[in-house]
Amino acid sequence: MAGRPSLKILRGKAGVILPGLIVILIMTALQWIGVPTIDRAGALLFDSYQRAKPRVYRDEGVKIVDIDDETLRRLGQWPWPRTDVAELTKRLADAGTAAIAFDIVFSEQDRTSPARLAERMAREGSTKEVAAELAKLPDNDAVLADTFRNSNATLAFFLSHDGKGGQVEPKAGFGIVGSTPKTGDADYNGAIQPLPVLRAAASGLGFVSLPTDSDGIVRKAPLISTENGQLLPSLSIEALRTAFQLPSIKIKSSNGSGQYYGDGSNVVELQVGDKVVPTTSAGQLFLYYTSPQPDRIVPAWKILTGAMSPEEMRKTFDGHVVFIGTSAQGLYDLKSTPISQTELGVVVHAQVVEQIVTDTFLTQPDWGPGVERAALVVLGLIMAFSLPWLGAARGAVLGLVMVGGMLAGSWEAFSQSRLLLYPTYPVIALTLVYLVETALTYYREERQRAYIHQAFDRYLSPELVKRIVDDPGRLELGGEEREMTVLFCDIRGFSHISEKLTPQEIIQFLIAFLTPMCDILLAQKATIDKFIGDAVLAFWNAPLDDPDQYANAARGALAMTARLRAMNVEMRGQTATIWPGEVSIGIGLNAGPCCVGNMGSAQRLSYSLIGDTVNLASRIEGMTKYYGLQIAIGEDLRRHLPEFAIVSLDRVRVVGRDAPEEIFGLLGDESLAETAGFRDFAAKHQAMLDAYRAQDWAKALELAEAGQSTAVGYGLRKFYLLMRDRITHFAANPPGADWDGVFAATEK
């Protein structure tokens, strides 16, 4: 038996936990498959890591010669005569460069070559002698080719998908350990290549195509690619091969490395000499950028104009791999990187070689996805099972701690070990589990709130229920003093009615009676405090302020008596009813200060009120039976209802109270009070009471007998009979000069 509540709680929580588990399952499947949008979010996270901690730049044998705007201003516009390019190449070779790589594709013949000029001059009508002399001069492309043969040059080509340009023939082969590697989804079928004479003279040939991610950022550099199935090296890796003067590049596939995953053709690493380069499965290198480094770049004009001495040239370029590119306006190829929105493509190629030379790599370990998946499942389960007990606020703290821990771990792995451990899927999974379970918990709580409303609206006023739901703290014990209006309503002769009905029929009768009565009270903004058998206690101006409390109470009482009269007519003659004939009620109203709030004990409480005002309202209700009218009110309330049809009844010292109270009869609302008939009756009625209180028994009796027939229409028949008997008694037995006109009630 003791375990049943816990089991019930678990069942209730399961409705929240299960959707969280489904979220974990879905996110695990998505992490396995890979979602480009989520993967891009992880890439952006590592972009921020690179900006926070870029690769430290060191001059480890890589330089860039930039054909910039100043160079073109000094030496002339591009394209230059190939002899100028040859001169630049020769000076770099003389400075002791290990390799020279051109991020320029020399795909067209030099239009300034002597032979081309001779042809042009012949077409324009120049003398044959001049054209012949020009034709004897060496071809510019041939001059450049001769220079390439003596300078360990590597040329560039573009890969394309248009099928043009022919098949590229690599300068060196590949030593493959394992299956022939795949290089991604794209297999190129065309290329824009340098002139054959230049290709033949160069030591190396590499592609310069740099594909970007879907957001246009270059995060990985392909080291190998394929054209029609032929493996080809990138400019960077080829420049390094020629610098090391190697005959081939070694590639290791997954089934040649003992790491058997995929179909065995995934690239694991690439080796150039003694430099082992970890790659992605498609043979790409994760780029780890430095911040912009002016020391890496030398303007071309400084070399060609002799601004750098031979000593400076050798000091700057000796033993270096030199990339030649251009940043001149309209010529350069801009790329976006995690560090810079506009970076030169040649800088990207140079940074690839720098990473290889310095062994500074970003790697995504093969166990990384497994760790990410484990974090997703384990932390997701912790969140899913903890959140229903912790609640939204503490659950958010737990989630932030776990997310912060994963981000901190990811950052430490990057900054200390240069490992790429993506926290994206676990973070998203935790966030979704939190949102889904919190939303479901909120939905269930709202349903519970609605249930509380539906349940307690039957016992309390809707306003009170709303305030309790909005602020459960109001259920604490305690009260406040307020000016209030109190109503007591009781069924006349309920004991005799009960004798004629079974217990079940009594309940059915009370439901039939109390339901419309409560509807009226609630419509008049009352708070129904409690039912005491057949009696109803209600009040106004709590828990919500009601500036019209007095009028609302009076209208509510009048509406209750009018509805009861209608119900007596409706039920008359209906055999299939438990309505016990003609039902009558008495209503007592009073106004004054009360203490209202949550009354009771720590175990059980109710929103109620106490005070002399409440007790007097109960006594006034009891007096309605004595005076034979339906609604009686106290003198404090009378002062707040000057427009209503009200007459004085008596001065009474009720049971349990020493101070006398003037009691009034509420006969109708403002419309009745404005009629001439009521004004005439009210004046004569007050004259009768004045004569009675002045012990003018003859005049009082005359007015009582004269007004008796009219009083019947206002529900005061019994009161006038009572007053006539009382006047007759005092006329025969004078009460004495010290009589104050107060009637001492002997019953509640």
Which tokens in the block code for residue 187?
């297999």
DSSP structural state of residue 640: T
**pLDDT value at position 4?**
47
**pLDDT value at position 127?**
58
390 burial (CB, 10 Å; 0-12 / 13-18 / 19+) is: middle
Task: Give per-residue pLDDT as tens, 471-488.
Answer: 655 555 567 899 999 999
Task: Give per-residue pLDDT as tens, 346-396.
Answer: 999 999 999 999 999 999 888 899 999 999 999 999 998 888 888 888 989
Amino acid (1-letter code) at residue 543 = P
344 vs 6, higher pLDDT: 344
pLDDT at 337 over 50: yes
576 vs 16, higher pLDDT: 16
Contact 269, 276 (CB under 8 A): yes
CA 360/CA 350 separation, integer angstroms: 14
Contact 46, 420 (CB under 8 A): yes
Give the residue carrying structure tokens 């606020």: 393
CA geometry: angle at 256 spanning 252 and 260, to 5°?
Answer: 115
Contact 426, 376 (CB under 8 A): yes
Task: Give per-residue pLDDT as tens, 490-508.
Answer: 999 998 888 888 889 899 9
Contacts of 289 (CB under 8 A, 6+ apart): 50, 54, 55, 337, 338, 339, 340, 351
CA 169/CA 238 separation, integer angstroms: 13
Amino acid (1-letter code) at residue 144 = L
Which tokens in the block code for residue 298?
């030398």
Give the residue carrying structure tokens 């480094």: 293
Average pLDDT over all residues of the chain: 88
Would you say the pTM of this structure is higher than 0.85?
no
CA 334/CA 528 separation, integer angstroms: 78
**pLDDT value at position 607?**
75
H or E element at residue 614: helix 612-627
**pLDDT value at position 361?**
95
Structure confidence at residue 257 as a pLDDT band (50, 70, 90) = low
CA 399/CA 297 separation, integer angstroms: 47
Contact 282, 183 (CB under 8 A): yes
CA 568/CA 582 separation, integer angstroms: 6
pLDDT at 232 over 50: yes
Structure confidence at residue 601 as a pLDDT band (50, 70, 90) = low
